[in-house]
Structure 1
Amino acid sequence: MKEWLERVKVSLGLAEKAIDSAGDIPRENMYMLAPHFYSQLNHMNNAALLDEMSRVNQAR
């Protein structure tokens, strides 16, 4: 669990950096980027899983 939390923290940090550097992405959209960075950190190349993660985030 601790390892997962660390990966999530890093993913959110990467999403925050991407938003800060882009300048035109609203901060409230960070949740849409975090799953992408999480999948990169975990070397997951599963488009269906990434789509599902994004869909669930958008529903909230």
Structure 2
Amino acid sequence: MSMKLLWHEGLQAVILERPTVCAIAEDFVKRYELQDRIKIQEIDMWSKLPTLTLRYSVGFQ
């Protein structure tokens, strides 16, 4: 990913991941000095799954 960011100066990224992966990503971002272009946000998408209400109607003619 760092090479893509280096080739395209206007490209920015946000990493949304679990805390353990974010720690690895932070090391990567620091190593390639991309702190101003890559933001990291810790989330756990599996801990709180959204409640979905499925509503639909089917019409026949």
What TM-score results when the alignment is normalised by the length of structure 1? 0.30
Task: Answer 1 or 2: which has greater strand percent.
Answer: 2
Indicate the structure (1 or 2) with the bigger Cα radius of gyration: 2
The structure whose residues are more often helix, as a share, is 1
